[in-house]
Structure 1
Amino acid sequence: MASYNKRVHYKHPKRKINVGARPGSIIIPDDAQEPRIIIYSFNEDDLQTSKGKDMKTITQQIDKCKGHTHWIKINGLGDANLIEDIGTFLGINLLVLEDVVNTHQRPKFDEYEGYVFGTSRIIYFNKDNELINCQFSGLVKDNIIISFEESHFDYFEVVTTRLKAGKGVIRTAGPGYIFYALTDTILDNYFVLLSKIGDMIDETEDKLYKSPDKSIMFDAQQLKRTLIIIRRACWPERDKINDMIRSESSEITKDTKLFLRDAYDHCIQAMDMVESYKEVTSSIIDLYLSMVSNRMNEIMKVLTIISVIFIPLTFIAGIYGMNFSRQDDHGRIIKDNMPELYVNHGYVYALVGMFLIGAIQLFVFWRKGWFNKL
């Protein structure tokens, strides 16, 4: 029996649609997680961290650490009051807040008076082999960057590690650089995901050559679907980064744009890998179907040869199975009936004749090369 690989499950948050709702409405999905807030306040020489679940944590940290850059990291979007309070505190347009909680946005970058806003898609496999596709939102204003994530999963651990180490320019380049670092981390994880998918494609391809079965088609199809999901994230991400490079906002500094050009190249590379892998998965499906078709043709060829051999033999057996008697009950010869029925050794002659017919047919088929690939 064919052994199937573990199927990839695609876990998407349910989209809550409110037809006719007022623009700027903050509607929290039923399955949204409770927010957890971590604030990193830093400058070249100092880093202070605080945690909480409400707006008071944010205001107290900002008041305590004046002259610092603040990264407000929010995991979970289950509190509409918190989102509204942040919008009021920073003077954020309600349409931006709506995009934060509406977690089905395409990657984009928008400029507003005094701040910038961008979204990306976070895609990864969890421990249960589920493909998670969730939204990251980032808002940069003055010396503050706020990042919004749907789950409590710490996707940006590498950035916080760099921040704690204090090496490089991460503490001195401003909140726009943090926004770049988060975007670049998302792109780097696309490569990790594509590397895993590449290994899965190689395994499927090896199985196709060694022991093909119908599970290959199912595996290739689910890999193709995964690649389509990544493609839907990569293409608009390229446009988003390009908009950031061309931005005239003071929040995206000239030095940060140099790093964004590198991120743009990474995005193009990821897109090329996605397109290449999509072609490979399509070719695996096509090749498997061709192999199935060829195998069916070989089976039909064998059955045809067997049928062609036995058709004349069956014809002969059918003729001599009609049992027309040579003589009637009074011993008189009946005209045009089968004299062969009374020939000595007639049974042996019939078998030898049938064998010779079959042998001649096999010789002719062999000369034509019909047995070469059976």
Structure 2
Amino acid sequence: MGHIKRVRYRTVKRQKVGERPGAINIADDALKPIITVYSYNEKELVCADGHELKVILDQFKKCTDHTHWIQIRGLNDQKLIEDIGTYLKVNPLVLEDIANTHQRPKFDEYDDYVFMVTRQVYFNEEGELCNNQFSTIVKPNLIISFEETHDEHFEGVKARLKAGKGAIRTAGPGYMAYALNDTIIDTYFVLLARIGDELDSVEDRMYSNADKSIMYDTQQLKRTLIILRRITWPERDKINDILRSDNTLISNEVKTYLKDAYDHIIQVMDLIENYKEIASSIIDLYLSLVSNRMNEIMKVLTIISVIFIPLTFVAGIYGMNFARVDPATNKVMPDNMPELYSPHGYIYALGGMVLIGIIQVIVFWKKGWFSRL
């Protein structure tokens, strides 16, 4: 498993200033849609694939007593989105929110359907954080989901749907919306587990061999946690809005499961805050280690300087070269260095300097300066 890299941002084409509400703006790098229809009831599951609205309409005609989950992966087809909106009588503002993939998690209620937005956050194979939008429209006996990429994120839900066990085939489209949303929330735990492992690894590196890459890696993890925090807070509010809703599409049975999803998102939020504190403490500890290391270096340099200052002073005095005797007149110069011409004066000066240095080292050692280096 590679290290976590920087956040990968997808191209978002926002609404132009003054543009009419409900305008659909498709991102330049949006993918062509892949449509998969799952029509199910208690007895059977019927699947169909395609790229056009026709596959949906044909499935509706063939399976009249089924609940339908229409999964659309890829949004680069404005006509398809508009045709679905026309056929299902969806408000243009909802279609705009589906295509403009910068929405925050939310829950909107309309006359005969509800609209939900969730953020799909995961690490790709390159270790980049991907933050994509997942939108769902829930109508009686119908749920239609929109995803930005062709990646598969709901293998577990599809396996349960094929097995036909539990309430997934009988509890209606509201339960399917819960199952998809809960699956996305579960991926947050997987993502946070990897972030926790990365934080442990960074912390071990700091204790064994700290370098400046620790601060960069930790800051990247902290930035990832900030993005997750921006996602999970509105996600909590969204689930809370669903729980307080009286819409018949969200049955009491589904609300029981949603309470569990609400508990999960609270756990995610707690983990994010804990990991943010750990990341901040790692950065603070690293800066403290760097500061302490600099203090130790400065202390060593200070001790060396203090030792050599008196030696330099002695050398400076005897380097002034004021002669005792005038070499031209052989006249004795008063108050000049009498020891300049002393026998073995050089040896005596060096010996005195060495003695001064030894005395200083002994004094510093007794004060415990060397033991704290």
Q: Under a length normalisation based on structure 2, what TM-score does the superposition of the two structures give?
A: 0.97
Tell me the residue number matched to 2:22.
24
- Following superposition, the deviation at residue 6 of structure 1 comes to 4.8
Tell me the residue number matched to 2:91.
93
Tell me the residue number matched to 2:239.
241
- Following superposition, the deviation at residue 345 of structure 1 comes to 2.1
Matched residue type, 2:357: G
**Is residue 304 of structure 2 the alignment partner of residue 306 of structure 1?**
yes
Count, aligned residues: 370
Tell me the residue number matched to 2:372.
373
**Is residue 173 of structure 2 the alignment partner of residue 191 of structure 1?**
no
> How many angstroms apart in 2 are the aligned matches of 1:260 and 1:372?
61
Tell me the residue number matched to 2:342.
343
Instruction: Map 1:1-374; keep pairs closer than 5 Å.
Output: 6=3, 8-17=5-14, 18-329=16-327, 330-374=329-373
Does the Cα contact within 8 Å between 1:12 and 1:134 map onto a contact in 2? no
Deviations 1:21-52 (A, max 9, x none): 10011121111110100000000110000001
- Following superposition, the deviation at residue 220 of structure 1 comes to 0.2
> How many angstroms apart in 2 are the aligned matches of 1:27 and 1:224?
32
> How many angstroms apart in 1 are the aligned matches of 2:208 and 2:87?
63
Does the Cα contact within 8 Å between 1:39 and 1:72 map onto a contact in 2? yes
Report the 3-state secondary structure (helix = DSSP H, G, I; strand = E; otherwise coil) of the residue aligned with 1:161.
helix
Report the 3-state secondary structure (helix = DSSP H, G, I; strand = E; otherwise coil) of the residue aligned with 2:58.
helix
Matched residue type, 2:346: Y
- Following superposition, the deviation at residue 360 of structure 1 comes to 1.5
Deviations 1:34-91 (A, max 9, x none): 0100000000110000001111110110111011000000000111111111111111
- Following superposition, the deviation at residue 104 of structure 1 comes to 0.4
> How many angstroms apart in 1 are the aligned matches of 2:322 and 2:33?
97
Does the Cα contact within 8 Å between 2:105 and 2:231 map onto a contact in 1? yes
- Following superposition, the deviation at residue 9 of structure 1 comes to 2.9
Structure 2: which 5+ runs fail to align?
none
Deviations 1:223-275 (A, max 9, x none): 00111111111110000111111111000000000000000000000000000
> How many angstroms apart in 2 are the aligned matches of 1:297 and 1:156?
54
> How many angstroms apart in 1 are the aligned matches of 2:183 and 2:42?
22
Q: Under a length normalisation based on structure 1, what TM-score does the superposition of the two structures give?
A: 0.97
Does the Cα contact within 8 Å between 1:220 and 1:284 map onto a contact in 2? yes
> How many angstroms apart in 1 are the aligned matches of 2:246 and 2:57?
29
Provide runs of 4+ in structure 1 moved above 4 Å: none
Structure 1: which 5+ runs fail to align?
none
Matched residue type, 1:130: E
- Following superposition, the deviation at residue 370 of structure 1 comes to 1.4
> How many angstroms apart in 2 are the aligned matches of 1:328 and 1:204?
72
> How many angstroms apart in 2 are the aligned matches of 1:40 and 1:63?
13
Report the 3-state secondary structure (helix = DSSP H, G, I; strand = E; otherwise coil) of the residue aligned with 2:371.
coil
> How many angstroms apart in 2 are the aligned matches of 1:42 and 1:227?
38
Matched residue type, 2:342: V
Report the 3-state secondary structure (helix = DSSP H, G, I; strand = E; otherwise coil) of the residue aligned with 1:372.
helix
- Following superposition, the deviation at residue 367 of structure 1 comes to 2.2
Cα pair distance change 1:261/1:21, threshold 3 Å? same
Does the Cα contact within 8 Å between 2:85 and 2:95 map onto a contact in 1? yes
Does the Cα contact within 8 Å between 2:4 and 2:221 map onto a contact in 1? no
Report the 3-state secondary structure (helix = DSSP H, G, I; strand = E; otherwise coil) of the residue aligned with 2:22.
coil
Matched residue type, 2:298: M
> How many angstroms apart in 2 are the aligned matches of 1:57 and 1:169?
26
Does the Cα contact within 8 Å between 2:6 and 2:220 map onto a contact in 1? no
> How many angstroms apart in 2 are the aligned matches of 1:64 and 1:162?
23
- Root mean square deviation of aligned Cα: 1.1
Report the 3-state secondary structure (helix = DSSP H, G, I; strand = E; otherwise coil) of the residue aligned with 2:38.
strand
